[in-house]
């Protein structure tokens, strides 16, 4: 059981954020699904979203489609559909590339709100009941929240170099020994830059310590006799 415990962990990433308000975020799968499903070039053009972020939103939609197609062709998944395997395999090369014409492919995802009569929510409920798909939604939601925050800041803030609600520093400690520090460009020109960096250093040390403590506890549960 030991090696399974650490299977998905390739790095420990510690991010520091200064937020306007700390709120409890609730994850509702349907809400996230609906938010990403309707993202398209046409929709983004109509909305007031900042131009620099449009591509990032589109990537979310592409990845949702890709994840769903992969689940459709995976025999071990609940959503496996043998009849669609050959079609999907043809479309996969297009879907996996970021700048390809993936939007021209017709979507296989069910609509969040059925538009035709006599259609019910069973297809949507079925995919929202699959744990792997929900996991994908969870991760896409995290990225979408970050992009949404960034969009709010770009549109509303008059103060330059405002770093509220964005991760201004991130340290990644990888299993192979590499340590990668990432900083937001906005902090470079701020007068309180040193204080911010000090705060991040403190939170990295604490974060690493916390993670080690938790792993120690989990190992004590499964340790050998």
Partner 1 sequence: MKNKQPRLFPITRLPLRQFLRQQNSWRKLESITWELNINKLLNSCIQVKEAQISLTSAIPCQINFRLDSDIINQIEQIRQDDNQFTLSPINLTNLRYYVLLNSPLKKQLSPICNFQSSLIFSTNYLYSDKQQLVPVVRSIINLEGQISQQIKQDLWQEPQLLDKVLDVHYWLISQILNQLPLKNKNFISWFFNGLLLSIGTVIAVVIWYFLSLNYLSKILIIFAIFCGLKVLLEYLVKKHLKSWIIDNLTHGFLANKHQKRKFGFKILSLMH
Interface with partner 1 (CB under 8 A) = 1, 4-5, 7-22, 24, 27, 131-132, 134-135, 164, 167, 195, 199, 202-203, 206-207, 209-211, 213-214, 216-225
Closest distance to partner 1 from the beta carbon of 179 (Å) = 14
Least separation in angstroms between CB 63 and partner 1 = 18
Quote the tokens at residue 56.
Answer: 């990032």
Is residue 103 within 8 A of residue 41, CB to CB? The reply is yes
If the CB atoms of residues 76 and 122 are measured against partner 1, the closer one turns out to be 76
Residues in CB range of 110: below 8 A, 6 or more apart: 123, 124, 127
The distance of closest approach from Cβ of residue 198 to partner 1 in the complex, given in angstroms and rounded to an integer, is: 10
Residue closer to partner 1 (CB basis): 59 or 162: 162
Measure the N-to-C terminal CA separation of the chain; round to a whole number of Å: 13
Provide DSSP, 32-93: HHHHHHT--HHHHHHS---HHHHHHHHHHHHHHHHHHHHHHT-TTSTT--GGGHHHHHHHHH
Q: Give me the least distance between CB of 139 and partner 1, in Å please.
A: 10
Nearer to partner 1, 35 or 207 (CB): 207
Q: Supply 140's token pair.
A: 């896409």
Closest CB to partner 1 among residues 96, 164: 164
18 vs 123, beta carbon nearer partner 1: 18
Phi, psi (5° rounding) for residue 210?
Answer: -65, -45
How many angstroms separate the CA atoms of 49 and 21, rounded? 23
State the nearest-atom distance from the C-beta of 83 to partner 1, in Å. 25
């Amino acid at each position: 059981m030991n090696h399974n415990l650490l299977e998905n962990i390739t790095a420990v990433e510690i991010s520091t954020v200064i937020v306007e308000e700390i709120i409890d975020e609730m994850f509702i799968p349907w809400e996230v699904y609906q938010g990403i499903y309707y993202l398209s070039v046409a929709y983004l053009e109509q909305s007031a979203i900042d131009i620099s972020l449009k591509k990032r939103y589109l990537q979310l939609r592409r990845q949702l489609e890709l994840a769903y197609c992969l689940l459709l062709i995976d025999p071990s998944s609940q959503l496996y559909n043998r009849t669609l395997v050959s079609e999907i395999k043809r479309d996969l090369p297009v879907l996996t590339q970021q700048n390809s014409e993936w939007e021209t492919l017709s979507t296989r995802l069910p609509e969040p709100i059925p538009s035709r009569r006599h259609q019910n929510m069973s297809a949507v409920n079925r995919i929202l009941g699959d744990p792997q798909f929900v996991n994908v939604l969870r991760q896409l939601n995290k990225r979408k929240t970050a992009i949404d925050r960034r969009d709010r800041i770009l549109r509303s803030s008059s103060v330059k170099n405002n770093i509220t609600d964005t991760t201004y520093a991130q340290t990644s400690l990888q299993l192979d020994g590499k340590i990668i520090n990432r900083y937001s460009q906005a902090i470079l020109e701020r007068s309180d830059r040193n204080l911010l960096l000090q705060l991040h250093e403190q939170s990295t040390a604490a974060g690493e310590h916390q993670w080690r403590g938790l792993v120690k506890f989990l190992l004590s549960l499964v340790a050998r006799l």
